[in-house]
A and B are shown apart, each in its own frame.
Chain A
Amino acid sequence: DVKVTQSSRYLVKRTGEKVFLECVQDMDHENMFWYRQDPGLGLRLIYFSYDVKMKEKGDIPEGYSVSREKKERFSLILESASTNQTSMYLCASSSPGTSNQPQHFGDGTRLSIL
């Protein structure tokens, strides 16, 4: 089974801090994704990476950056955390290729910015 592991289930940070969310997958997937999930808005894609050191902006990249130095690890960085970034953050991975490749998700990090 694919395992996607997010480093923290719950995280509390202060406004203005630099915040790192880590995600590791064990299936050698090329593609990795970061989403945020908010009530009434569903899942929104923040960033996407299709290879080491390669990244692409999603629908809501403002205020975020990402790092992919190794294939199995994809980090989401909040450069200067703000209260409107309080949310559930979900990481996912998938194989490339055809549209029938599903994404596999971690358990999420619930981030609170005070």
Chain B
Amino acid sequence: GDSVTQMEGPVTLSEEAFLTINCTYTATGYPSLFWYVQYPGEGLQLLLKATKADDKGSNKGFEATYRKETTSFHLEKGSVQVSDSAVYFCALPYSGGSNYKLTFGKGTLLTVNP
């Protein structure tokens, strides 16, 4: 079935370091792909999405490119801040009849130190 595998971490970086969180997927067809972020004590928020191959989603300095050839959607940021400390989830829609549900990766805890 459709699934997502993401790098589990935890990841600890210093402020201004470069971030990559890997995400690969197995899917039937070419669904959209999402990255969600969960700040401490909060629910999940949509960070960015891409709806087709070679699309690049971006938001708050984060980027991810939908790569069909490598079935990947890696999250990157050029210079992380302490405020980026959170758990990041890669997510893949799968079809349940006429409606879509999401399957999530296990989440990657990012800690950014000053």
Contact = CB atoms under 8 A, between A and B. Distances in A.
Nearest to A44: B104
Interface residues of A, number: 29
Q: Is the interface of B mostly helix, strand, loop or mixed?
A: strand
Interface in B84-114: 89, 93, 95-102, 104-107
16 contacts: A4-B43, A6-B43, A30-B99, A42-B89, A48-B99, A50-B99, A56-B96, A96-B100, A98-B100, A99-B31, A99-B51, A99-B95, A102-B49, A103-B44, A105-B44, A105-B45
A90 B36 CA distance: 14
A31 interface: yes
Nearest to B44: A105
Interface of A: 4, 6, 30-31, 33, 40-43, 45, 48, 50, 56, 58, 90, 92, 94, 96, 98-108
Contact of A100 (B51, B89, B98, B104): B51
Contacts, number: 62
B34 A102 contact: yes
A6 B41 CA distance: 13
Given A42-B105, A96-B98, A102-B49, A107 B43 contact: yes
B43 A108 contact: yes
Nearest to B51: A100
Contacts of B51: 99-100
A43 B96 contact: no
B99 A104 contact: no
Contact of B104 (A31, A40, A42, A50): A42
Nearest to B95: A99
